[in-house]
Amino acid sequence: EEAVFLILNNADEWIQEEWSKFRTHFQSSSFKADEKKVTKVTKSTGQKSSGSSMTLGRRLIYSHHIISKVKRGNIMNLVSHYRLTGYMKIGWPGIIIIEGSEEDCIAFYDDIRPWSWKFLVVRGEQQESVAGIDDARKFEQFLEVDDMSVVAQHCRKVGLEALFRTSMKVYESKSESDNHSVEDSAPYGALCHVDHMNDAKSYRKWLRRASREQDCFLLIKQCYPNHDYSKRPIIVVAVVGDKEGV
């Protein structure tokens, strides 16, 4: 699993095809933070209120890509308007993590969803009952970055690694809180070093089709050691899913 994270942090080739055919339950799948109570959505000013609780929300929004400067500028304006913090990872793929009042997180996604996207979906979400929104934040500001590792490292540091992993469609189930069931419910992965691909186009097409059929995450990375393009590249293939599918 850690090897997959290392590849992801430096990956420049993401295989994303025919997303509309993926199971619709992934679009509504959500990560619920362990030991946090899910509460009814309430309007928040971001300040403490005596005798009442507020609902802090988080979303990990996955996009095929985020490149347009206009779209990025509009996103920055929206997060400022809704007082959201988090990250926007630009490039391929695009990742947006937002944090703020649950009501504002919902409003933000409702605002950006009608825009022109090749693919956009909420991969993960959290709701947490708190005394004050600002005091419970894990992100101090909203930053635009082009390096996935920056987002991954911050999420690990503040205890939101499980939320970040939803970007790869790796979800935690309720049974994972039981020590006896962790091994059975944990995601399974395979990391393969491919010597060469004589017919790269056909091999990649087959890998994509097989991964879709088994409902697995696929990553193909081609590397040139020491940037020596005169030699044969190293090809690494990573697959993540349930053990039977992989």
Domain range list for the chain: 31-177, 187-241
**pLDDT attached to residue 227:** 72
What's the confidence (pLDDT) of residue 173?
Answer: 63
Q: Please calculate the CA angle 208-91-197 and round it to the nearest 5 degrees.
A: 35
pTM: 0.55
Mean pLDDT of 146-155: 93
User: For residue 14, is pLDDT > 80?
Assistant: no
H and E: helices and strands count for the chain: 9, 8
- What is the CATH number assigned to the segment(s) 31-177? 3.30.70.100
Identify the pLDDT of residue 240: 83
| Of the candidates 130, 131, 171, 137, the residue with the CA atom closest to the CA atom of residue 26 | 171
* pLDDT for 50 beyond 80: no
From the list 87, 76, 142, the residue with the least C-alpha distance to 112 is: 76
Identify the residue with better confidence: 4 or 17: 4
Q: Is the pLDDT of residue 33 over 60?
A: no
Q: What is the pLDDT of residue 96?
A: 98
Higher model confidence: residue 128 or residue 19?
A: 128
Is pLDDT larger for residue 187 or for residue 142? 142
For the residues 41-69, what does the mean pLDDT come to? 74
Q: pLDDT digit string (tens) for 173-212?
A: 655 544 444 444 556 778 887 777 777 778 788 888 887 7
Give pLDDT, residue 187: 66
